[in-house]
Amino acid sequence: MSWQAIGIFDSGVGGLTVLREIFRALPQEDTIYFGDTARVPYGTKSPETVTRYAHEITTFLAKRDIKLLVVACNTASAVALNALKREFPIPVVGVIEPGARRAVEVTRSGRVGVIGTAGTIKSSAYSRAIKRLNPAAEVITRACPLFVPLAEEGWTDNQVARLTAQTYLQELREARVDTLVLGCTHYPLLKTVIAETMGPDVVLVDSAEETARTVAEILSKKKMMRPPSEQGNHHYYVSDIPAGFIRVGNRFLGGRLGDVYQVNLDEESAGD
């Protein structure tokens, strides 16, 4: 058993959809969340830049003695996961592998759609992960960058959201995918509109849910899980002023955030 917290980070509020699932699966665990609100979005940035950010944040969290790291951001998982695994001596869980595994389990036709940020789609990380598990699978991908601001604005069930979904998802419908991976932290908020657009025969895979399941499996296998009778404490850090994070974050988390602290990663690393 280990009393240390689970560390989790994202480019901003999006990773709270992953945290929400971790709360559900492991309510007894302490968590430390970092949202890089000063540098969001990651989805439009180069792999080198995102990897550098991911390294700085993991260094910050590792100093808080975490027992496991969850890279909740799909873009950071897509481009920086291997580097983090090499550099930090703790289990590191990304969102790509769990989502890919679930997609391979549920697809009947082998035609799988993946949607995400431009960075995630360009990296081909989901396609590679799915094909590693099922080389015969056909993976059709599409970047849907406008879904991110729509989710943050709370425009998840109106005409703008529906039209945007219809436009982005047209090719995936034509390709007759039977499974669609929601490969971005923000997309679970648009689940209703995406499901409506894709039709009842397409199964949506929520990477957030699958990731929480993977975290529970790892903690259990490594005998690091806290007793279920415990109640976890939760800490939140951001790199810009907390006001916007709190406003949007409560919706993403589906509950009330605790205190949110602003930190300056440059000052943190200068103290080394």
Catalytic residues: 73, 184
- The residue from 31, 51, 107, 117 that contacts ligand DGL (CB under 6 A) is 117
Q: Which two tokens stand for residue 64?
A: 């808080």
Nearer to ligand DGL, 139 or 225 (CB): 139
Stretch 224-253 residues interacting with ligand DGL (CB under 6 A) = none
- Rounded Cα distance between 157 and 62, Å, is 39
Told to check if 121 binds ligand DGL by CB under 6 A, we report: no
Measured between its terminal Cα atoms, the distance across the chain in Å is 30
Minimal distance, residue 226 CB to ligand DGL, in Å: 27
Nearer to ligand DGL, 39 or 111 (CB): 39
Told to check if 73 binds ligand DGL by CB under 6 A, we report: yes
What is the radius of gyration, based on Cα positions, of the chain? Answer: 18
Told to check if 206 binds ligand DGL by CB under 6 A, we report: no
Nearer to ligand DGL, 42 or 226 (CB): 42
- The residue from 185, 197, 211, 214 that contacts ligand DGL (CB under 6 A) is 185
The number of residues in the chain equals 272
Minimal distance, residue 54 CB to ligand DGL, in Å: 12
Nearer to ligand DGL, 184 or 203 (CB): 184
Told to check if 80 binds ligand DGL by CB under 6 A, we report: no
Told to check if 33 binds ligand DGL by CB under 6 A, we report: no
Told to check if 42 binds ligand DGL by CB under 6 A, we report: yes
Minimal distance, residue 77 CB to ligand DGL, in Å: 8
Q: With CB under 6 A as the contact rule, which of the stretches 27-35, 69-77, 132-140, 262-270 interacts with ligand DGL?
A: 69-77
Nearer to ligand DGL, 197 or 211 (CB): 211
Q: Which residue in the block uniquely carries the two structure tokens 């890089």?
A: 36
> How many residues sit close enough to ligand DGL to count as binding (CB under 6 A)?
16
Minimal distance, residue 145 CB to ligand DGL, in Å: 8
Nearer to ligand DGL, 111 or 122 (CB): 122
Stretch 147-166 residues interacting with ligand DGL (CB under 6 A) = 148
Q: To the nearest 10°, report the CA torsion of 79, 121, 204, 199.
A: 170
DSSP character string of the chain:
---PPEEEEESSSTTHHHHHHHHHH-TTS-EEEEE-TTT---TTS-HHHHHHHHHHHHHHHHTTT-SEEEE--HHHHHHHHHHHHHH-SS-EEESHHHHHHHHHHH-SSSEEEEEE-HHHHHHTHHHHHHHHH-TT-EEEEEE-TTHHHHHHHT-SSSHHHHHHHHHHHHHHHHTT-SEEEEESTTGGGGHHHHHHHH-TTPEEEEHHHHHHHHHHHHHHHTT-PPPTT----EEEEESS-SHHHHHHHHHHHTS----EEE--HHHHHHT-
Told to check if 10 binds ligand DGL by CB under 6 A, we report: yes
Binding site for ligand DGL (CB under 6 A): 10-11, 14, 40-43, 73-75, 117, 120, 148, 184-186
